[in-house]
């Protein structure tokens, strides 16, 4: 499941958000679940129980014990929807996770080129992201530098990316916002692919507003050795995302030992959001119940 698919599904579901009442079907009863870690579901992961309205889904997430959400496409939502979501999160005392700094075609519009048009587009998206973050009470925003520019040496591309990210950091830092750079595995054409590469770029940008988003699914595919690489990059990691491999579904459906990873993060004192950026292995309400159970099981890492 690619990030573009998450954004597309968020926008389709979001069309009905403003008109949808905050109501629940009779069979939706709060479970009072509590987790040791702050897992953050996405829109659509509980639509069979809560319906199409994202507001209703957020309420359902809260009732199941989740205390954070993610919404990659938040920047593309109408202002009124962003405000509605922010007010509900505040009422429920839930935390907003990442949304994507969307500068158009984020992957092919590449900061590696050094072209002014791409830097300007990125800067504009950063400024728009500041306003969005205030409406939905977000602290972190995801940044993807884009594709390789094959005509340029790698170090020149890296320099271009660092220059552009410094522009973003200057925009975000006064507002206490953090752009988290995400190395990805979706295609070999993507410039940012490894945790150590991202660590070096963050060190070069030299800003508290430029950190690493360590997506466990992507890093398992690109480099493995997850716990060791988390330790190596720890001083620059500000955000973590989840997805098992293969399949990019909930913990327990693939080869990653999430119990061990959650224990490791917990013991290191990680208090941040863990974004549930993945699909579901099951369909319908049963698949959603299985999703919750998978997090209950993985969250038992101290027992």
Write out pLDDT tens, residues 110-131: 999 999 999 999 999 999 999 9
Average the pLDDT over 280-302 and give the result: 96
* pLDDT of amino acid 107: 64
The model carries a pTM of: 0.89
**pLDDT exceeds cutoff 80 at 106:** no
pLDDT-based confidence at 15, cuts 50/70/90?
very low
Average the pLDDT over 126-153 and give the result: 97
Please give the share of the chain, as a percent, with pLDDT higher than 70: 87
* pLDDT of amino acid 103: 79
pLDDT digit string, tens, across residues 69-100: 999 999 999 999 999 999 999 999 999 999 99
Give the C-alpha distances (Å, rounded to integers) separating 239 from 93, 124, 142, 159, 180.
Answer: 19, 23, 10, 24, 7
Q: Which CATH architecture has domain 35-298?
A: Alpha-Beta Barrel (3.20)
pLDDT digit string, tens, across residues 269-287: 999 999 999 999 999 999 9
Residue scoring higher pLDDT (6 or 178): 178
Residue scoring higher pLDDT (24 or 183): 183
* pLDDT of amino acid 104: 75
**pLDDT exceeds cutoff 50 at 17:** no
């Amino acid at each position: 499941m690619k990030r573009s698919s998450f954004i597309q599904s968020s926008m389709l579901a979001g069309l009905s958000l403003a008109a949808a009442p905050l109501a629940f079907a009779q069979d939706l009863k709060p479970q009072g679940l509590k987790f040791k870690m702050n897992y953050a579901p996405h829109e659509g992961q509980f639509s069979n129980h809560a319906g199409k309205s994202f507001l209703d889904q957020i309420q359902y997430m809260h009732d199941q014990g989740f205390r954070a959400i993610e919404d990659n496409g938040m920047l593309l939502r109408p202002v009124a929807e962003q405000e509605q979501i922010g007010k509900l999160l505040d009422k429920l005392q839930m935390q907003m996770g990442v949304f994507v700094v969307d500068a158009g075609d984020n992957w092919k519009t590449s900061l590696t080129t050094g072209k002014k048009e791409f830097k300007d587009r990125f800067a504009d998206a950063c400024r728009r992201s500041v306003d969005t973050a205030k409406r939905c009470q977000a602290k972190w925003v995801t940044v993807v530098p884009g594709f390789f520019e094959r005509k340029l040496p790698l170090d020149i591309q890296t320099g271009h990316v660092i220059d552009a990210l410094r522009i973003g950091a200057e925009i975000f830092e006064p507002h206490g916002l953090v752009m988290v750079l995400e190395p990805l595995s979706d295609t070999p054409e993507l410039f940012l692919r490894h945790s150590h590469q991202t660590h070096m770029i963050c060190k070069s940008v030299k800003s508290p507003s430029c950190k690493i988003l360590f997506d466990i699914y992507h890093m398992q595919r690109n480099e493995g050795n997850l716990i060791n690489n988390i330790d190596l990059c720890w001083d620059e990691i500000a955000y973590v995302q989840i997805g098992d491999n293969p399949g990019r579904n909930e913990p327990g459906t693939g080869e990653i030992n999430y119990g061990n990873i959650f224990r490791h993060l917990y013991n290191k004192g990680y208090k941040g959001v863990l974004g549930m950026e993945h699909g579901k292995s099951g369909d319908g309400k049963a698949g959603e119940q299985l999703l919750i159970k998978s997090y209950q099981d993985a969250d038992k890492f101290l027992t």
